[in-house]
Amino acid sequence: MSLHTLTVAELAAGLRARQFSSLELTLHFLGRIERLGPELNAFVTVTADRALDDARRADESLAKGEGGPLAGVPIAHKDIFCTDGILTTCSSKMLSNFVAPYDATVVERWRAAGTVLLGKTNMDEFAMGSSNETSFYGPVKNPWDPRRVPGGSSGGSAAAVAACLAPAASGTDTGGSIRQPAALTNLTGLKPTYGRVSRYGMIAFASSLDQGGMLTRSAEDAALLLKAMAGFDPRDSTSVDAPVPDYGAELATPLEGLRVGIIREFFGEGLDPAVGKRVQDAIEVLRANGASIVEVSLPALPLSVPTYYVVAPAECSSNLSRFDGVRFGHRCDSPRDLPDLYKRSRGEGFGDEVKRRIMTGTYVLSAGYYDAYYLKAQKVRQLIAADFARAFGEVDVVIGPTAPTAAFELGAKTSDPITMYLNDIYTIGANLAGLPAISIPCGFVQEGGKALPVGLQLVGPHFAESRLLSVSHQYQQLTDWHRRVPDGYA
Amino acid sequence: MTWETVIGLEIHAQLATRSKIFSGSATAYGATPNTQANLVDLGYPGVLPVLNGDAVKMAIRFGLATGSKIARRSVFARKNYFYPDLPKGYQISQYERPVVEDGSLEIVLEDGTRKTIGITRAHLEEDAGKSLHEDFHGLSGIDLNRAGTPLLEIVSEPDLRSAKEAVAYMKKIHTLVRYLGICDGNMQEGSFRCDANVSVRPAGQAEFGTRAEIKNLNSFRFVERAINYEVERQIDLIEGGGKVVQETRLYDPDKGETRSMRSKEEANDYRYFPDPDLLPLAIGEDLIESVRTTLPELPDEKAARFVRDFGLSEYDAGVLTASREMADYYETVVSRLGGSAKLAANWVMGELSGALNKENLDVTGSRVGADALAGLLVRIADNTISGKIAKEVFEAMWSEGAAADAIIEAKGLKQITDTSAIEKAIDEVMAKNPQQLADYRSGKDKLFGFFVGQVMKATQGKANPAQLNELLKRKLGG
């Protein structure tokens, strides 16, 4: 078995047993990134020197029998997380010159657990997109079929882990940006409960929806990495001061007695029947192994997309005001005066999708429109949350597809933003309600002569990450979809 | 036509917290530009605001002191606009749900009448930085030291009917925030400033006229002058057939006039919405009660006590309680004296205040401390010196810093109470002025004062005035 297809759990154990050193491991991944990375365009920055330093330090600790739980394990961070002294671009021209002066809490915590930083991954510009095609650094390719998108916005993280260029990577999920790319690249992608992971140092897109998480090869890896990432942070007022369970220890919880609710609204029009079939198959696996399956209805859920496309742009229009060319980031040449400085710096620095959302958000917050759009959307948001809460009175988790189709072709949806937005139709609800959700591999569909992965989504009540992870882990003990690696990357 | 003026004030009081409202940077005034601004104040990518609990407690103090409602749940909102000294592109403020609502306070006008002024609300917000347009040769400098400094914006009802009322109200708030220890009140440094909303309407008309908002008034004098100018401008405009437009105006203290800054149409659409980075501010009963126990005696209570316990007039009590430091000084003098509260009041409001004003000093910087002043007043009370001599002693105390007794001793200013000594002086004066004596005895009573003056001169003012009067009357009468 090759080093690069091992899970984080396996690598951590191997490192501790001194089967291989972190330096060996790190050089192996850096070699793969150098060889296979450019055609996928998964990384914005490769931090080779930093990685080797981290690895040597991890090896020293491991030699002494010390080091954190993830000592010596290489990882990558989505380029939305600030990394001290390292370029942090959000895949935007606006931040193409921005070297962050501090570490995000997520970066700090994974580092404290002993991880080795391989680099910063490509993404949709400011996390706005579902295909990774809005990046200033160009689109990322899906390792399962390079003519297709890896999903977005955490597309670089997804491609990097799927192609075994990194054992795991961080991501952020505002409307599905971890789960949808995980589904499209055969990975496990966890979006924790809003407030479970600190947002400090995670460049904001839509503050009330953004949540950090990870893309991994297994639910067990997600459990290990979440344990290292989660917890209260006094620097983030929206982070929740609740104890962090030992997610790894709870993975063994059996499927017997699990109550699963199939979300009726997720199996209607728009769902590719082949994708729906894979999801149904997965549900049968759960049923056959002791879970009870019922159907639940979340009637407000179909309003997720319009609700999201009011709330998220509103917040982003304000969050992105700080990019004004004054203190950091892109500044236009020889501004004539202040308005010129603002207009040209922002006009040149932001791409089309970002501009579209800033304009949408500015509009919905404007005097005379606020009540009709923003306030109405907040009310619908409460209805959606109430629907979920009602469902969780009956079942432990709700289940459905992560995305309506498998990976689509590059350029297929770039001309019509609405079609692109509909790709997040099943994932947005969890963000609006602040709920934890996970996408796990559940099979493949054949398209254009290629096998393309399909993702199964589970959503749980607030802080039910343990349950989502244990159900996923148990499913992964019964299936091997998650161990499959695309041709050419094994 | 008679016109009625309607004024409402928005006062910005900078809260006296040590760190900023949403970051750990220091708030001290006057530091080298941009040395008190951290990543949060600079609005760096990824950073988040964390509310300063002391600022909340100070807002509660103000609310309790003005009989306001303390909102159990209030909300921070973003006010969006672009300006270089506003690093995030929005100001965090409170909009629909302020922390303090619906209070009032009483002002006393010059003629002694009292008036209750409503306080609509007071909300927490962050200050912006400063743009410096001088000394940069066509460029602007930005100093973000002030960015994120906590402010309490105190909004009055449109209850004020003249510039004088507005000033009395502003002074009252100024006194109150300093008593509460929530604002240093330093107007030169901008810690206490206000915007005035001014309109006029024909007397008796119920609806308000169109208002103009005069921005950033940072002295009581400017508030009075700016409002008076603006009222006159509006009346002239209307009487000349024109209309007042709703707009923001600036007061130019050099020219003594207000001028238009921007009209309502040019005003920004601030696109307020709740700040998703901050949870709603929840204030529990226990926090309110714990703040309540730390409230000091408030100016109105103190003034009432001075009237009751010291027998002062309401006016004097008001003057002496205008600042906590002045009131403390006065009370110390009275307690050292063991009474003579009126004598102490006259001296604190008279000689002491005069000397302080002359050197532009605060009572805390007085060259004559409360104990020292009491030491002087004791000598008036026990007839060692007269009030007139006391003024001379006070001057010497002020300039030399010595104790009253030492000066009285050194300068031989002790009052003459020995009857024979005073009689001797009177005899000498009578002998020197036969003509005036004759005139007095033939009915020119007014000459009595002349003899008092002559005897005082002969005794270098040290003769006890009461004794002198009595003895002189007897002797002149022959």
Active-site residue flag, A450: no
Interface test with A, best of B44, B80, B86, B136 (most A CBs within 10 A): B44
Active-site residue flag, A191: no
- ipTM for the assembly: 0.96
Q: Could you tell me which residues come within 8 angstroms of residue A155 by beta carbon, excluding any fewer than 6 positions away?
A: A42, A122, A123, A124, A131, A132, A135, A139, A140, A149, A181
Contact A365 B273 (CB under 8 A): yes
Contact B279 A238 (CB under 8 A): yes
Buried/exposed code over A440-472 (b: 16+ C-beta within 10 A; e: otherwise)? bbbbbbebeebbbbbbbbbbbbbbbbbbbbbbb
CA pair distance A181, A152, nearest whole angstrom: 5
Listed in order, the ranges of chain A carrying CATH 3.90.1300.10 are: 3-261+392-483
CA pair distance B201, B210, nearest whole angstrom: 9
A270/chain B closest Cα distance in angstroms: 32
What is residue A341's three-state secondary structure? helix
A325/chain B closest Cα distance in angstroms: 10
Contact A237 B279 (CB under 8 A): yes
Facing A237 at nearest CB: one of B44, B272, B277: B277
Write the single-letter amino acid at A283: I
Task: Report, as an integer, the average pLDDT of A29-58.
Answer: 97
Q: Which residue of A has its CA nearest to B140?
A: A338
CA angle B436/B442/B448 to nearest 5° reads 50
Please tell me which residue, A67 or A429, carries the higher pLDDT value. Answer: A429
Q: What is the pLDDT of residue B385?
A: 84
Which one of the listed residues A21, A91, A170, A177 is annotated catalytic? Answer: A177
Contact A366 B90 (CB under 8 A): no
Q: What is the pLDDT of residue B425?
A: 87
Query: Do residues B40 and B218 make contact, with C-beta atoms less than 8 angstroms apart?
Result: no
Facing A322 at nearest CB: one of B48, B50, B88: B88
Which one of the listed residues A92, A130, A153, A345 is annotated catalytic? Answer: A153
DSSP string, B313-369: -HHHHHHHTSSHHHHHHHHHHHHHHTS-HHHHHHHIIIIIHHHHHHTT--GGG-SS-
B135/chain A closest Cα distance in angstroms: 17
Given CATH 3.90.1300.10, say whether it is the number of domain A3-261+392-483.
yes
On the 0-12 / 13-18 / 19+ scale of CB atoms within 10 A, A348 is middle
CA pair distance A168, A189, nearest whole angstrom: 10
Which one of the listed residues A22, A78, A91, A317 is annotated catalytic? Answer: A78
Q: Which residue of B has its CA nearest to A205?
A: B46
Closest CA relative to residue A229, chosen from A59, A105, A409: A105
The tens-digit pLDDT sequence of chain B (478 residues) is 899 999 999 999 999 999 999 999 999 988 999 999 999 999 999 999 999 999 999 999 999 999 999 999 999 999 999 999 999 999 999 999 999 999 999 998 888 889 999 999 999 999 999 988 887 887 889 999 999 999 999 999 999 999 999 999 999 999 999 999 999 999 999 999 999 999 999 999 999 999 999 999 999 999 999 999 999 999 999 999 999 999 999 999 999 999 998 877 777 899 999 999 999 999 999 999 999 999 999 999 999 999 999 999 988 998 999 889 999 999 999 999 888 899 999 999 999 999 999 999 989 999 999 999 999 999 988 888 888 889 999 999 999 988 988 888 888 778 777 788 888 889 888 889 889 888 988 888 888 989 899 888 888 888 888 888 888 888 887 6
Listed in order, the ranges of chain B carrying CATH 1.10.10.410 are: 419-476
Chain B interface, Cβ < 8 Å to A: 39, 42-51, 78, 80, 82, 84, 87-90, 142, 269, 271-273, 276-279
Which residues on chain A are in Cβ contact (under 8 Å) with B45? Answer: 82, 88, 90, 95, 98, 100, 203-204, 322-323, 328-329
CA pair distance B178, B25, nearest whole angstrom: 23
Which residues on chain B are in Cβ contact (under 8 Å) with A207? Answer: 276-277
Q: Could you tell me which residues come within 8 angstroms of residue A250 by beta carbon, excluding any fewer than 6 positions away?
A: A223, A466, A469, A470
Write the single-letter amino acid at B288: I
pLDDT tier for residue A421 given thresholds of 50, 70 and 90: confident
Active-site residue flag, A153: yes
Facing A374 at nearest CB: one of B89, B269, B273: B273
In this predicted model, what pLDDT tens digit does every residue of A328-378 receive, in sequence order?
A: 999 999 999 999 999 999 999 999 999 999 999 999 999 999 999 999 999
In this predicted model, what pLDDT tens digit does every residue of A212-234 receive, in sequence order?
A: 999 999 999 999 999 999 999 99
CA pair distance A170, A228, nearest whole angstrom: 12
Q: What is the pLDDT of residue A462?
A: 98
CA A306 to chain CA mean position, Å = 21
What rounded mean pLDDT belongs to chain A? 97
Beta bridge partner(s), residue B12: B153, B193
Which residues on chain A are in Cβ contact (under 8 Å) with B42? Answer: 327
Q: What is the pLDDT of residue B30?
A: 87
Interface test with B, best of A241, A322, A338 (most B CBs within 10 A): A322
Q: Under the phi-then-psi rule, with left for phi > 0, alpha for psi from -120 to 50, and beta for the rest, what region is A113? A: alpha
Q: What is the pLDDT of residue A95?
A: 98
Residue A1 above 60 pLDDT?
no
Residue with tokens 């290629």: A450
Residue with tokens 């079942």: A395
CA A158 to chain CA mean position, Å = 8
Interface test with B, best of A94, A324, A341, A374 (most B CBs within 10 A): A324
CATH number attached to the domain at B419-476: 1.10.10.410
Facing A318 at nearest CB: one of B50, B78, B269: B78
CA pair distance B81, B130, nearest whole angstrom: 15
Q: Could you tell me which residues come within 8 angstroms of residue B1 by beta carbon, excluding any fewer than 6 positions away?
A: B202, B203, B239
Write the single-letter amino acid at A38: P
Write the single-letter amino acid at B263: S
Which residues on chain A are in Cβ contact (under 8 Å) with B271? Answer: 317-318, 362, 365-367, 370
Interface test with B, best of A80, A208, A233, A327 (most B CBs within 10 A): A327
Q: Could you tell me which residues come within 8 angstroms of residue B427 by beta carbon, excluding any fewer than 6 positions away?
A: B475
Query: Do residues A127 and A205 make contact, with C-beta atoms less than 8 angstroms apart?
Result: yes
Percentage above 90 pLDDT, chain A: 96
Pairing status of strand B281-282 against strand B73-74: antiparallel
* E-only strand ranges, A238-326: 259-263, 292-296
Q: Under the phi-then-psi rule, with left for phi > 0, alpha for psi from -120 to 50, and beta for the rest, what region is A238? A: alpha
Residue A423 above 90 pLDDT?
no
The CB-side HSE value for B340 (13 A sphere, CA atoms) comes to 20
Task: Report, as an integer, the average pLDDT of A432-439.
Answer: 98
CA A397 to chain CA mean position, Å = 20
